[in-house]
């Protein structure tokens, strides 16, 4: 399995930036020293006492944060036998995920994002016909290989109206897509980016939520546009899905709604 996208230091940093809490303020409000804050955040020290004190100030779940610091949790590996493939490609030294979903009967397929390099997806799609490319958001790592994927497939490309990508068709939240027995619902899960969309895919053996950078296994995308809305959208539009729904994030491993409700420090205990 690919590693978790974020470590405890990343999570603390995202919460601090999102809530606008400087180091000195956090140390003071939590009643810890600056040194112990640096040790857990910047050096990965699994210091339970410090984590327990800073978690509530950052509105994070202490137990979930400590489990991650101690390496005690990662999501169970997910296998989907037919109609689904995940691709992890390298983008300037980091990795990004893209996904392919198809109707096993008709062989018609939908690509979700392109990743840095669409070659593995195009290779896997031999014998399938990619009819649509659906973009979760417009960040460069997710759409990096769009010209080539479009050229190779001749597929229609759709992007959220609130986050247009040049040369694509726009759609608003609530638009449904259908392809054979695959049905896709759209929910705006913005906050990380202005118009990020979660695609809820039904018709395969497992229901999927293809979330872009809205939520990761054990973390979430940075709330660059609005941290509050990123949190709220994840709680209301993703974590209300059935527990067994598979979350397919833009970075890091797949997970499920049930696992994130229990183990994600941003959301555990909040839903």
The 169-171 sheet, strands edge to edge: 84-91, 94-102, 108-112, 129-134, 156-160, 169-171
Measured distance CA(156)–CA(142) in Å, rounded: 17
Residue pair 255/210 in contact by the 8 Å Cβ criterion? no
- Can you state the percent helix, strand and coil of the chain, rounding each to 5? 30, 25, 45
Question: At its nearest, how many Å lie between Fe ion and the CB of residue 60?
Answer: 21
Tell which positions 32-61 bind Fe ion, by CB under 5 A.
Answer: none
Query: Of the listed pieces 13-21, 101-109, 118-126, 207-215, which binds Fe ion according to CB under 5 A?
Result: 207-215
Q: C-beta of 192: minimal distance to Fe ion in Å?
A: 6
Closer to Fe ion by CB, 131 or 139: give it.
139
Residues sharing a CB contact under 8 Å with residue 189, sequence separation 6 or more, in sequence order = 196, 197, 198, 211, 212, 214, 215, 230, 233, 234, 237, 238
Question: Residue from 74, 139, 187, 263 that binds Fe ion (CB under 5 A)?
Answer: 139
Q: Which one of the spans 8-16, 105-113, 197-205, 208-216 is the region binding Fe ion (CB under 5 A)? A: 208-216
Sequence-distant (≥ 6) Cβ neighbours of residue 81 within 8 angstroms: 205
Distance between CA atoms of 2 and 14, rounded to whole angstroms? 21
Query: Is residue 213 a contact residue for Fe ion (CB under 5 A)?
Result: yes
- Which region among 29-37, 165-173, 177-185, 206-214 touches Fe ion (by CB under 5 A)? 206-214
Report how far apart, in Å, the C-alpha atoms of 161 and of each of 46, 171, 175 are: 43, 5, 11
Cβ distance to Fe ion smaller for residue 180 or 194: 194
5 binds Fe ion (CB under 5 A): no
Count residues binding Fe ion (CB under 5 A): 2
CB of 97 to Fe ion, least distance (A): 11
Instruction: Give min distance, CB of 96 to Fe ion, in A.
Output: 9
Q: Kindly state the smallest distance separating residue 141's Cβ from Fe ion, in Å.
A: 7
14 binds Fe ion (CB under 5 A): no
Provide, rounded to whole angstroms, the least separation between the CB of residue 140 and Fe ion.
Answer: 9
**Torsion angles phi and psi, residue 8, rounded to 5:** -60, -35
User: Would you say the C-alpha torsion 259, 260, 261, 265 has a positive or negative sign?
Assistant: positive
Binding mask 99-138 for Fe ion (x = CB under 5 A): ----------------------------------------
Give the binding site for Fe ion (CB under 5 A): 139, 213
């Amino acid at each position: 399995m690919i590693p978790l996208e974020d470590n405890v230091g990343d999570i603390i940093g995202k919460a601090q930036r999102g809530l606008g809490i400087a180091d000195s303020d956090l140390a003071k409000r939590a009643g810890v020293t600056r040194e112990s804050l640096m040790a857990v955040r910047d050096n990965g020290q699994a210091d339970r006492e410090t984590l327990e004190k800073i978690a509530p100030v950052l509105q994070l779940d202490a137990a979930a944060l400590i489990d991650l610091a101690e390496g005690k949790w990662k999501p169970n590996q997910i296998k989907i036998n037919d109609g689904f493939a995940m691709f992890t490609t390298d983008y300037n030294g980091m990795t990004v995920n893209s996904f392919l979903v198809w109707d096993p009967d008709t062989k018609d397929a939908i690509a979700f994002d392109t990743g840095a390099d669409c070659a593995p997806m195009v290779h896997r799609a031999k014998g399938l016909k990619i009819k649509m490319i659906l973009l979760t958001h417009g960040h460069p790592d997710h759409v990096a290989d769009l010209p080539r994927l479009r050229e190779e497939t001749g597929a229609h490309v759709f992007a959220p109206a609130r986050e247009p990508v040049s040369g694509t068709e726009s759609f608003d939240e609530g638009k449904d897509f259908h392809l054979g027995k695959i049905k896709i619902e759209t929910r705006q899960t913005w906050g990380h980016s202005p118009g990020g969309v979660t695609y809820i895919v039904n018709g395969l053996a497992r229901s999927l939520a293809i979330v872009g950078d809205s939520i990761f296994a054990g973390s979430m995308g940075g709330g660059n546009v609005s941290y509050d809305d990123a949190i709220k959208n994840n709680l209301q539009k993703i974590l209300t899905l059935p527990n067994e729904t598979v979350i397919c994030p833009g970075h890091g491993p797949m997970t499920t709604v049930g696992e994130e409700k229990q183990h994600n420090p941003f959301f555990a205990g909040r839903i």
